[in-house]
Each structure stands twice: as C-alpha cells, then as structure tokens.
C-alpha cells in the first residue's frame, strides 16, 4: 500500500471519527437538554366551557384533541379568582396573603423571585406575550425590562380587552403598537415566529402566552364565531335564575364565540410545535386565571372573585413529552395556583426553592390516578369592585367537596359530585357532621401552613397601605394617562403605584 493511499485512508478515518463524535455529542446534548415550557394562560375561561369537559354547546375541537394527549386535572382552581392575584401566585408559587398580591392593579415587587427568574438561572430563554397585569403603573404604560420579572423577549401590555385593536409594546421599543386583527390570532402568529426561530437553540425556552379571551366584552368576538351560537339554543345551567336567563344567553353567545376563536388560535400553536418536532421535548399547559359566574347562583355575568365552581374552577391540561401511557388520563385531585410552579420545576429537573409555598404535584402528572385526593386552598382576602360588599373567605376544594368559610356571611359546604351546580348547602347538616368537621380541620391546617390568620379586609388594606378610590372600591388604575405612565388628578388626588412593598415612583 503506497504512502498516498495510506494518507487518504487515515484522513477518511479521522473525519469519520470526528463526525461520529460530534453526532454523539449532539445526541447526548439533546438528551440532556431540559424540556421547553409553553404555558398558555387564558382569561376568565371557566373549567366547564370546553368540549372535552362535556359541554354540549361550546366548540373547542383543538383543545378536545389536545386533552386526549394530556393529563386533565378536572378540579383545578384559581387561588383567588381574579387576574392579578392569580398571576402573581402563578409566577411566585406563593399565596396572595403571603405576597400581599390580593388586588388587581398593584405592582408585584421586584424582590419576589419569579418563574422566569428561576428558569433563567437554569439556562432557559424566557418569553412573554399578551396580558401581564402585574405592573400597577396604569394599564397602557410602557413596562421597562427591569419590571418584567425575568422575561427577556417581551410583546405584552399591562391590561387591555380591545381584541380588535389590542395595544402592546415590542420589547424595548417604547412606542405603543397594536396587534393587527383579532388579537388571539395575531399573538399566536407571533408566538409561532418565535418558535421557528428558537426551535434548534442549544438552550430550552420558557414561553408564556397570555391571551385575554374569553374575558368580556363578548360582543367583540368575530361574527363568524358568534353565528355558531344562537342565544335561544344555548343550554343554561339550573342554578341560573329566570330573571338572568336573557342576559346570560346574550353574554354566553359572545363568550363561547371567543372560546372557539381562541381554541383555533391555540390550535395554530400546537400545530407549529408539531411541525417543528418540538412536541418531543416540550411541556405544554393550557389553563386560565379564573372563571366567571355567568348568571350562576343569581350572580350576573362578568363577576368572578367567588369560590363557587363557575368562578374558581379553571381548565388545566398538561402535556408531558415521551409519556404516552398517560395520554388522556384524568386527575380528580384538585390543584391550586401556587402548585403550578413547583410542579413545572420538578418536571424540568430544576430544584424547587424553599420559599415556594405551593405543593409539587408532579407525581400526579407522571402517574395520574383519578382516585387520589388532596386539598386545594382558595381565598379572597379583600373583595373589591363589584364584589366589594361580599364577605372575605377562605375555602378548600377536595375531589368531592367545596367548603367555603366566610368571615361574615353564611358558610357553605357542597358535595360537588352529587350537586355539581352547588345548589344544596350542606353546612350544619347533621348527616354531614363528620365531613364538615374534617373539612374545617383541613382548612385550618392549610391556613396554618402558610401563616394565614384570616383577618378582615381592613387589616390587609392597612398593612400594605392600599387605598381605594373614593367612588369606586378598587385601586384607581384609571388615574394613569394611557401610554406614558404620567398621572392625572382623580378626585383631587394623584394616583400612586400601590404595592405590598413601598414603591418609589
């Protein structure tokens, strides 16, 4: 064999060895890569307003299909069924009475360590789209990077429900922009662009997609979808009184229309994840920040904050890649908002910080069992706005019961299995004496574990120096000029940024 031929063979072997080594390194790297997270957070979407939950009216084909691939937590609840408290609890894994995030339109202190910050520390890219509602500087004010709680990519706004011309800020551009067309479609199209760009990144990503639908106004749902729901043909639950039937049917038409349109937008994201082969290494969650009463219990549409199922119950589907044996499985054990973050951290092999108060339920995702039971805590420390006259409460949900302990009003106990519309209060019913005692003890234990002594509203208002508007019992977010953050006089007093920790404007 001549020298030249030997050299060729040697080079070929070296190239093959290097190529194999690189391929092996790449394969090892992909195997060791932590899972991506796509968290789809909708607004005011109650747990029963999806086809896969048995709703005979609403059309949600994409979510119905997704439910067959996911683990379905049928009794997920919002820790405080209203926007800001839920979002703060979701990002921190802590309860509202612990963080002080008990009202809408207050600022989540930068001292709180959040979901995005924890995932960033673990090497994740972080991205956020849509409704934020944690900044407290007015609903259309530019939110600089230092107030984004660890999210780097940013196409978001504090709060807007103008779905046909929704404003937002594009990363560090301080000019207010507007999504073109119906916002769920526009936002998810941008999400798909991000996915295409980052699909092959060495680092995983955490992407939170916060769609503001199907929150009212319902009339703004696209006509194509409203036409699917003639009001007179919609089914009303038996706990909606006759005096609210007409109003409820009218609002349900737009509510379901938003739900169906949003289902289609979510379907576009799920399709893109599949196209990019990201389903193989991406945890996907579909949920909501709270539900809505929609006439139930005689409470007019739009109202939430209550522990009743229609307000507190939220959908919660979680897809875990490479876990085919759990496709379509049901978990009846309830979960509450602070449980989400520690669960995602466990599923991502990230250490759970000691300060997190929620419980890690990753074992229920990995090994779903419909017979397992646990306790999920709910609360409303400071009813506000349209709920101002209602009593403060602490409540727990088990897979069968809801127990609501009011500070002033009558306590409530419902068997949610036999009485899914919560029309028969069993509190102080002799036949349920032992059940009641057990639930009271479980509630007490839950509150003790987080140091919550269940004070009246005035205690928290004083503790955090919260001040409501004199005419409207809520934080006066309307006192900020839209788009620039400057203040204007409201009733002779300029608004300030209100926060559990003093904030310097």
Q: Name the 3-class secondary structure at 325.
A: helix
Cβ atoms of 376 and 75 within 8 Å: the answer is yes
Q: How far is CA 258 from CA 122, 218, 441, in A?
A: 36, 7, 41
Phi, psi of 476 (to 5 degrees): -80, 70
- Any catalytic annotation for residue 83? yes
Cβ atoms of 376 and 392 within 8 Å: the answer is no
- Name the active-site residue from 62, 86, 133, 405: 133
Closest CA to 475 of 48, 484, 451, 460: 460
Cβ atoms of 352 and 345 within 8 Å: the answer is yes
Q: Name the 3-class secondary structure at 210.
A: strand
Cα dihedral sign for 287, 250, 267, 71? positive
CA 478, CA 495: separation in Å to the nearest integer?
9
Q: How far is CA 44 from the centre of its chain?
A: 10
Q: Supply 432's token pair.
A: 């349920």
CA 268, CA 270: separation in Å to the nearest integer?
6
Closest CA to 327 of 68, 114, 133: 68
- Name the active-site residue from 62, 83, 159, 290: 83
Closest CA to 19 of 27, 31, 30, 7: 27
Q: Name the 3-class secondary structure at 316.
A: strand
- What is the CB-side half-sphere exposure of residue 286 using CA atoms within 13 A? 28
Residue 226 parent element (H or E): helix 223-226
Q: C-alpha angle with apex 424: 420 to 429, nearest 5 degrees?
A: 125
Q: C-alpha angle with apex 379: 376 to 381, nearest 5 degrees?
A: 160
Q: Supply 119's token pair.
A: 């995932």
CA 37, CA 320: separation in Å to the nearest integer?
10
CA 469, CA 424: separation in Å to the nearest integer?
37
Burial code (b: 16+ CB inside 10 Å, e: under 16) for 304-322 equals: bbbbbbbbbbbbbbbbbbe
Phi, psi of 172 (to 5 degrees): -95, 10
Cβ atoms of 403 and 395 within 8 Å: the answer is yes
Active site residues: 83, 133
């Amino acid at each position: 064999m001549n020298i030249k031929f030997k050299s060729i063979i040697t080079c070929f072997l070296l190239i093959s060895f290097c190529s194999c080594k690189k391929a092996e390194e790449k394969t090892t790297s992909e195997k060791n890569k932590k899972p991506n997270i796509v968290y789809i957070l909708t607004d005011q979407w109650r747990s029963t307003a999806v086809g896969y939950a048995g709703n005979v009216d609403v059309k949600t084909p994409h979510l119905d299909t997704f439910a067959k691939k996911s683990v379905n937590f049928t009794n997920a609840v919002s820790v405080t069924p209203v926007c800001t408290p839920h979002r703060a609890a979701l990002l921190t894994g802590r309860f509202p009475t612990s963080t002080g995030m008990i009202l809408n339109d207050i600022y989540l202190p930068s001292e709180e360590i959040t979901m995005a910050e924890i995932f960033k520390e673990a090497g994740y890219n972080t991205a956020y789209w849509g409704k934020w509602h944690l900044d407290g500087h007015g609903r259309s004010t530019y939110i600089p990077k230092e107030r984004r709680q660890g999210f780097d990519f940013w196409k978001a706004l504090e709060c807007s429900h103008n779905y046909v011309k929704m404003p937002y800020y594009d990363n560090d551009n301080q000019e207010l922009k507007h999504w073109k067309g119906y916002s769920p479609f526009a936002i998810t199209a941008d999400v798909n662009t991000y996915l295409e760009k980052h699909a092959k990144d060495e680092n995983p990503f955490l992407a939170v997609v916060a769609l503001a639908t199907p929150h009212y106004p319902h009339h703004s749902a696209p006509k194509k979808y409203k036409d699917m729901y003639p009001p007179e043909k919609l089914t009303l639950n038996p706990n909606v009184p006759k005096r609210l039937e007409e109003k409820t049917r009218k609002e349900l038409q737009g509510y379901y229309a938003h739900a169906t349109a949003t289902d289609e937008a979510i379907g576009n994201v799920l399709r893109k994840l599949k196209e990019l082969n990201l389903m193989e290494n991406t945890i996907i969650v579909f949920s909501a920040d709270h539900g809505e009463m929609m006439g139930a219990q005689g409470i007019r549409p739009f109202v939430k904050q209550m522990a009743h199922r229609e307000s507190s119950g939220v959908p919660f589907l979680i897809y875990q890649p490479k876990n085919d044996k759990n496709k379509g499985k049901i978990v009846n054990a309830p979960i509450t908002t602070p449980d989400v973050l520690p669960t995602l951290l466990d599923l991502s092999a990230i250490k759970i910080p000691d300060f997190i108060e929620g419980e890690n339920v990753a074992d229920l995702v990995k090994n779903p069992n419909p017979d397992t039971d646990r306790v999920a805590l709910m609360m409303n420390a400071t009813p506000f706005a349209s709920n101002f006259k209602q009593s403060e409460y602490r409540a727990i949900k088990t897979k069968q019961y809801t127990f609501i302990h009011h500070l002033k009003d009558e306590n409530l106990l419902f068997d949610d299995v036999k009485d899914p519309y919560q029309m028969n209060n069993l509190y102080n019913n002799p036949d349920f004496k032992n059940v009641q005692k057990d639930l009271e003890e479980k509630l007490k234990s839950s509150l003790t574990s987080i140091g919550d002594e269940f004070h009246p509203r005035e205690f928290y208002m004083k503790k955090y120096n919260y001040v409501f508007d004199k005419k409207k019992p809520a934080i006066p977010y309307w006192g900020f000029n839209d788009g620039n953050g400057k203040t204007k006089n409201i009733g002779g007093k300029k608004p300030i940024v209100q926060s559990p920790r003093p904030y310097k404007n």
